[in-house]
Amino acid sequence: MTDQQWPWPAGAATGIGSLPGTDIAEAQRIVLGELPALPHLPELPARGPGADLVGRTAGLLVELPVELYAARWRIAPRPGRDLRRARDLMERDLDQLAEQAEEYAGPVKVQAAGPFTLAATLELPLGGRVLRDPGAVRDLAGSLGEGLRGHVAAVARRLPRASVLLQLDEPSLPAVLAGRVPTESGFGTHRAVEPEVARALVRDVLDAAGVPALVHCCAPGVPLELIRSAGAAGVALDLSLVTDLDPLGEAIDAGFGLLAGVAPTLPPASGRAPTSAGIADRVRRVWDQLGFPRRRMAEQVVVTPACGLAGATPAYARAVLAACRDAGRRLAEE
């Protein structure tokens, strides 16, 4: 066994964030029932604007109001109806979490968009993505850090016996670093953000939140070294998109946690959900390829779906979470 303390128990499994449906009470019951070692605060984007990843996170920003314009989120001159809706949905979700998990005493994971995914999606008041203005990106990261600190505190107040784990969702980070984020016209791309700049702003956000954190990226080319050196405790990624295992092995060897996305988010042609044995085998194969001793696996790895489950049926989503849970238990028996 290693001496390192992870912010999750050995053999844990969790969800990435989103689930199908619009009933937060039912979603929370599913998460607490199927993922008892590391439950997460569910996201239900089917509820509409303000329940989506960007709107949900934008509702947490401090002194940076947002609004919907032409179905896109943008910085607003003052708080309005769209922002109130996003905040009301979050309050409802937190109240439901407190009601169902009042006595819960383990780690609980909350998710929010990271600064560069927000910057690549949110628009400035006069048009154009925040990403085009480096000063606006810095202001956005500072506002996000303050908002996440308050969000973590709100969760901790409702669940005083639990410990909070933060997940920053950064699906746009590889494109931001490579200069592949398209401009509004579609005829060009935004200038690439330097890795040192990205690292510093991600670190600022993580430091401000004040709790153990990980970064989730379901795109190819996850910048593992940048995420690790920014102070994250781990990374969540889709293992099927990893084409070069060497950077992953280096990160794990340096003590990085891995939320291994191995269960498909949509059912295969057969319609059958993956089995816990099959999921556990996929994790073992990658771990063995990396050359690490099996005794470390259950401590350092958390089993997850490949990404969010908002596009799945409720029955499939529940079956996938249960299979991930049982796969984690199998790994703990190694």
CA 304, CA 317: separation in Å to the nearest integer?
Answer: 12
Query: Tokens at residue 233, please?
Result: 């405790």
CA 311, CA 106: separation in Å to the nearest integer?
Answer: 29
pLDDT band at 1 (very low <50, low <70, confident <90, very high): very low
Average pLDDT over residues 89-106: 96
Element (H, E) at 237: strand 234-238
Confidence check: pLDDT of 279 > 70 = yes
* pLDDT for the residue 46: 97
CA 251, CA 40: separation in Å to the nearest integer?
Answer: 24
pLDDT in tens, 114-137: 999 999 999 999 889 999 999 999
pLDDT in tens, 249-263: 999 999 999 999 999
pLDDT in tens, 21-61: 999 999 999 999 999 999 999 999 999 999 999 999 999 99
Q: Which residue has the higher pLDDT, 41 or 71?
A: 41
pLDDT in tens, 225-243: 999 999 999 999 999 999 9
Element (H, E) at 321: helix 314-332
* pLDDT for the residue 272: 85
pLDDT band at 282 (very low <50, low <70, confident <90, very high): very high
CA 119, CA 139: separation in Å to the nearest integer?
Answer: 10
Phi and psi at 317, nearest 5°, equal -60, -45
- Inter-residue contact 60 to 148 (CB < 8 Å): yes
Confidence check: pLDDT of 16 > 90 = yes
Confidence check: pLDDT of 2 > 70 = no
pLDDT band at 5 (very low <50, low <70, confident <90, very high): confident
Average pLDDT over residues 287-310: 96
pLDDT band at 310 (very low <50, low <70, confident <90, very high): very high
CA 41, CA 261: separation in Å to the nearest integer?
Answer: 18
Element (H, E) at 260: strand 257-263
* pLDDT for the residue 3: 57
- Inter-residue contact 166 to 216 (CB < 8 Å): no
* pLDDT for the residue 69: 93
Q: Which residue has the higher pLDDT, 272 or 54?
A: 54
Average pLDDT over residues 245-251: 96
- What is the number of residues in the chain? 334
Average pLDDT over residues 157-180: 97
Q: Mean pLDDT over all residues of the chain?
A: 95
* pLDDT for the residue 120: 97
CA 47, CA 283: separation in Å to the nearest integer?
Answer: 33
* pLDDT for the residue 4: 63
Q: What is the 3-state secondary structure (H, E, C) of 157-189?
A: HHCCCCEEEEEEECCCHHHHHHCCCECCCCCCE
Q: Is residue 91 helix, strand or coil?
A: helix
Long-range contacts formed by 248-252: CB under 8 A, 24+ apart: 248/224, 248/290, 249/290, 249/291, 249/292, 250/224, 250/225, 251/224, 251/225, 252/290, 252/292, 252/300
- Token pair 């670093």: residue: 177
| Cβ neighbours of residue 256 closer than 8 Å, sequence gap 6 or more | 224, 228, 232, 233, 234, 235, 300
